[in-house]
Every structure is written in structure tokens, then in C-alpha cells.
Amino acid sequence: MVSLLDLADITEEGVAFQSPVDGSQMMLTPERSMQIQNDIGADIMMALDDVVSSVCVEDARFEEATHRTLRWIDRCIAAHSRPSEQALFGIVQGGLDPRLRGICLEGLKARDEKLPGYAIGGLAGGEEKAAFCRVVSQCTAALPPNKPRYVMGVGYPLDLVVCSALGADMYDCVYPSRTARFGTALVPEGVLRLKTAAMATDYRPIDSECDCLVCKKYTRAYLHAKITKVRKTLNPKP
């Protein structure tokens, strides 16, 4: 929904998407979202929320989205057919406005019995870092301490450390896997570029202190060979 916001039309009923492939209309309602996630058996199910880009300049849109997110959480809770097997997370919206975040936090906490976890949404969209930290901090301070708090769309390694220090527990960002796919590993000292020529004869693991499968089993040289070979196969150069 965030990625396709330009192709989406949000109404009280749900989100109407225009297919980027053939232009056909698709309607995602809170009920349909729950049904899909029930069907695939997701361990953690995300509520359908009304998300607004954090750098949007229309205050009224954030007000509307905050209240709609609370109306939709009731529809999500009502439509969730396997609450004893799958955990539904509510999502806090409200942009960068502490008042709106407060309304959303109180509204979700009033439904705490039905929500095994919480997500902090609507961030990591290009807002100022200080504003981002203020919102995460307000949310983690207000959310029940016995439930997981998940910051959506974060982030760079430093953001993960900062958010964890602010009390967040979970993230979903593509950064680590995408970075790995491009041949860079994240190590305690920073980044390790496995494509560089020096790695071709480096027989140490990525991180000698780490006991993950990759570090236990493979050398930097092996990974270098794999990554550079894949690149050559994908981009054959004369």
C-alpha cells in the first residue's frame, strides 16, 4: 500500500488499487486483508491501516487517517477468523503529530485484549531524524510493555540500534538482505565488501565471533567467488 500509494484511492470502504500491470481495479478492505492473511497462515498479521506519507503537508489528511485506522482496527478484529492461532498487530498512525499519535495509541490500547502486538507505522518515509525519534519514543513509552513493538520500514543499521534503545523490538526492513544481495555484509565494525579483490584470498569467515550458519560454514573467499560469479552471469560483458 505504501509502495503503490500513487496508484491507490483510499476510501472508508478500503483501498482501491489500480493494477500497475493492466490498469484493472483491485479493492483491499480490512475484511479482505484479514481473509488473505488468515488463508496464508501468517504468524503475525498486520491490520489494514490508513497510512499517509510522513512528509505529506496536509494536516487534515493525518487527522482523517488516524481516526480511520481506529475504525478499521475494529473491522480487522471482527474479521480475524483465527485469533487463537495468528497474532494480529495494531498499527499506530498519526504522522509526526504527538496529539494524533496519542489518540491512536489510546484507541489501540483500548482494544489491547484483542491485539497481541503493536506496530509503529507511517515513519521511515523521509522525515527528519529527530522527528522520527520523537514519534518512536512516544509510542514505545505508551505501548504495553509486555507486548512486542515493531517499527515498520526501519531501516539502516544505526536506526535499528537507536530504535532498540528507544524500546522497539522488531523491524522488517529489506536493507540487510538487499545489501547482502549486492555483496556487502554487516559486521560489528561496519560493512564488509565481499566483492573487493582482497576478499578473493581471505579465508576467514565474515565474522569470526558469529555462530550463524554462514559464518560457521563459508569463507569470505568462497562468498566472493559466488557473488562475483553471479554478477558475471547476470551481466555478461564482452
210 binds Zn ion (CB under 5 A): yes
Q: How far is the CB of 210 from Zn ion (least distance, A)?
A: 3
The footprint of Zn ion on this chain (CB under 5 A) covers a number of residues equal to 3
Q: How far is the CB of 206 from Zn ion (least distance, A)?
A: 6
Range in contact with Zn ion (rule: CB under 5 A) among 26-34, 56-64, 187-195, 215-223:
215-223
Q: How far is the CB of 186 from Zn ion (least distance, A)?
A: 10
The β-bridge partners of 46 are: 89
Range in contact with Zn ion (rule: CB under 5 A) among 30-38, 44-52, 153-161, 214-222:
214-222
Range in contact with Zn ion (rule: CB under 5 A) among 40-48, 75-83, 207-215, 225-233:
207-215
Closest CB to Zn ion among residues 35, 219: 219
Binding residues among 64-103 for Zn ion as defined by CB under 5 A:
none
Listed in sequence order, the residues at least 6 apart from 158 whose beta carbon sits closer than 8 Å to its beta carbon are: none
12 neighbors 68 (Cβ within 8 angstroms): yes
Short-list 147, 153, 148, CA closest to 175:
153
Closest CB to Zn ion among residues 80, 220: 220
Q: How far is the CB of 218 from Zn ion (least distance, A)?
A: 9
Range in contact with Zn ion (rule: CB under 5 A) among 139-147, 148-156, 166-174, 206-214:
206-214
Q: Look at residue 88 and give its three-state secondary structure.
A: strand
Closest CB to Zn ion among residues 215, 225: 215
**Rg of the chain on CA atoms, in Å:** 21
Q: Which amino acid is at 156?
A: Y
212 binds Zn ion (CB under 5 A): yes
29 neighbors 48 (Cβ within 8 angstroms): yes
Give the pairing type, strands 87-92 and 44-46. parallel
Short-list 227, 24, 139, 172, CA closest to 131:
139
**Burial bucket for residue 6 (CB in 10 Å: 0-12, 13-18, 19+):** exposed
Contacting residues toward Zn ion, per CB under 5 A: 210, 212, 215
